[in-house]
Amino acid sequence: MLQQQDVFTRSEQKYMLSEQQHQALMLHLKNYMTQDRFGLHTIGNVYFDTENYALIRTSIEKPVYKEKLRLRSYGVPKANSEVFLELKKKFKGIVTKRRISLPLAQAQRYLLLGEKPEVSNGHILNEIDWFLLRYRPVPKIYIAYDRLALFGREDKELRITFDKNIRFRESHLDLSQGNWGTPLLEPGKTLMEIKLQGAMPLWLSQLLTMHAIYPTSFSKYGACYKEHLLAKVFQKGGNICA
């Protein structure tokens, strides 16, 4: 079982790496960072949105404030396996993530049938309740990826994650149905994310400059929507007006 943390507040910056950049950077990072105890592991997510994709359409427009809801698992869960229901908000570049852990079956009954669970962190559940009441979200996309996470030797709050083999599917939107899907990125690409609670260390900034690694704006769900879902909405004559 993963060590639980209910609330995360930090800045997050994304970078898209080539295979060459990834390998070169990892050689330097081993002097400053340590791999977390989970090693390379697979994360599965079901993203929830309104029927007309209002949440992701708003997110793509890069507003000052945005929010999203997803159900996450580490590996492929069974009905009684622990999963995480996460409400993620971003305001002026600062990300706050609140989550509760539930057995998969219970989480599905809550999200799909409205059966409210009993949890210790009820204040977070109240926030999720408000989100559900406001948006009436439904499952829209499944996204999985293979992740390696590092944390700083001196600053334990510094985390760098590397996501490879990002894939998605539009059907079987159930975490227990396996982590298969259609590739989202071209072969050899890795999405790196630097998570900070303060300023970026000088050594890390210098490494990024050395390897010509620059920030990018990339959302896994956003990429799925723009490159795959949006065209199908128009093909079906769907109404995506707010």
Element holding 131 (H helix, E strand):
helix 122-135
Q: Is residue 61 part of a domain?
A: yes
Q: Is residue 241 part of a domain?
A: no
Q: Is residue 1 part of a domain?
A: no
Rounded alpha-carbon distances, angstroms, from residue 172 to 107, 176, 178: 16, 9, 9
- Residue 237 has a pLDDT of 56
Element holding 194 (H helix, E strand):
strand 190-196
Residue 238: pLDDT over 70: no
Classify burial at 142, counting beta carbons within 10 Å of its beta carbon; exposed 0-12, middle 13-18, buried 19 or more: buried
Calculate mean pLDDT across residues 196-224.
Answer: 95
Residue 1: pLDDT over 50: no
- Please give the DSSP secondary-structure letter assigned to residue 199: P
Q: Is residue 48 part of a domain?
A: yes
Residue with tokens 């898209």: 16
Q: How many domains does the chain have?
A: 1
Least confident piece of the model among 107-116, 143-152, 223-232? 223-232
- Residue 231 has a pLDDT of 76
Domain that holds residue 146: 7-235
Percent of the chain with pLDDT over 70: 94
Calculate mean pLDDT across residues 127-149.
Answer: 97
Q: Is residue 58 part of a domain?
A: yes
CB atoms within 10 A of CB 240: 14
Q: Is residue 240 part of a domain?
A: no
Tell me the whole-structure pTM to 2 decimals. Answer: 0.92
Half-sphere exposure of 5 (CA within 13 A, CB side): 6
Q: Is residue 229 part of a domain?
A: yes
Closest CA to 216 of 14, 12, 11: 14
- Residue 6 has a pLDDT of 82
The string of pLDDT tens digits covering residues 55-113 is 999 999 999 999 999 999 999 999 999 999 999 999 988 999 999 999 999 999 999 99
**DSSP one-letter string for 54-74:** HHHHHHHT--SEEEEEEEEEE
- Residue 241 has a pLDDT of 41
Are the C-beta atoms of 35 and 212 separated by less than 8 Å?
no
Calculate mean pLDDT across residues 26-39.
Answer: 94
Are the C-beta atoms of 35 and 142 separated by less than 8 Å?
no
Choose between 235 and 41: higher pLDDT: 41
- Residue 3 has a pLDDT of 42
What CATH number does the domain containing 133 carry? 3.20.100.30
Residue 230: pLDDT over 90: no
